[in-house]
């Protein structure tokens, strides 16, 4: 933990959010450092775009075939087609 030598202005909303996420005995600085480290550790979209073009095409084709199979199954059971 470093010594605080700067001040920043935050909105009441941001302050309340930090207060909710602070752990017992944790300074605002420590809470912000932890929260920022957590955010850097695993963004939601980490890993997206990692498939090769061939793998993405294979998955798309599999989804297309599964959709067609469901559509044929519904039609053969006399279900009305759903709009897509």
pLDDT digits (tens, 9 = 90+) for 22-48: 999 999 999 999 988 887 766 656 666
> Which of the two residues, 48 and 59, has the higher pLDDT score?
59
The pLDDT, as a whole number, for residue 56 is: 85
Q: Report yes or no on whether pTM surpasses 0.85.
A: no
Q: What percentage of the chain has pLDDT greater than the value 70?
A: 76
pLDDT given for residue 11 in this prediction = 94
Query: What pLDDT does 64 receive?
Result: 93
**Torsion (CA) 19, 24, 28, 29 in degrees, nearest 10:** -150
Nearest alpha carbon to residue 28 among 47, 55, 1: 1
User: How many C-beta atoms surround the C-beta of residue 33 within 10 A?
Assistant: 14
């Amino acid at each position: 933990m470093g010594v605080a030598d700067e001040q920043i202005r935050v909105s009441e909303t941001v302050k309340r959010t930090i207060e909710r996420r602070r752990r017992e005995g944790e300074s605002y600085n420590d809470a912000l450092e932890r929260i920022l480290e957590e955010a850097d550790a695993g963004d939601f979209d980490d890993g997206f775009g990692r498939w090769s073009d061939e793998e993405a095409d294979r998955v798309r084709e599999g989804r297309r075939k599964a959709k067609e199979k469901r559509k044929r199954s519904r039609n053969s059971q006399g279900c009305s087609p759903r709009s897509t």
